[in-house]
Amino acid sequence: MNEGTSQQRSVSANRTKLVENALNQYYKELLLKLLNSTAKGEVKTLRDLHFMSGFSEHQTSQVLENVAPIFTLPDIEVWDERHAQRILSVISSVLEDISCDKDWNGTHFDSNHEFDDEFIDE
């Protein structure tokens, strides 16, 4: 996360948990998209889902450790800008103290996906 941010907020444990849940759901959505793009959904042949998705528990934990100063896209240092957009969208929705473009392509939050958590642990 960007060390240059001077703005800070206080984030309750409950709100932090909501951010965590939303980011975990986003990660599951990414993995589902990846599974749907493989022949017959044969995930066992894929070596590293975290690397292939570009997002993992590591990015989630970084966001949770640094959520207080995240207010804009430049405050988020991730490899893929769509991940940064989704992170900011989640923070905006949960903390309700910033605004962001809700119409970013592919950043809407959908919690209705079915997902088997065993894929995350591989």
Is the C-alpha dihedral spanning 77, 51, 14, 82 positive or negative?
A: positive
Is residue 84 situated within a structural domain? yes
Residue 19 domain-assigned?
Answer: yes
Question: How many domains are contained in the chain?
Answer: 1
Whole-structure pTM over 0.75, yes or no?
A: no
Residues with Cβ < 8 Å from 9, sequence gap 6 or more? 68, 69, 95, 97
Determine the Cα–Cα distance for residues 98 and 53; give it in Å rounded to an integer: 27
The residues near 14 (Cβ < 8 Å, ≥ 6 apart) are none
pLDDT single digits (tens) 14-49: 999 999 999 999 998 988 887 777 666 555 555 566
Q: Residue 8 domain-assigned?
A: no
Whether pLDDT at 56 is above 80: yes
Mean pLDDT of the chain: 78
Q: CA–CA separation, 28 vs 102, rounded Å? A: 20
Domain span holding position 112: 13-119
Which residue do the tokens 């490899």 mark? 79
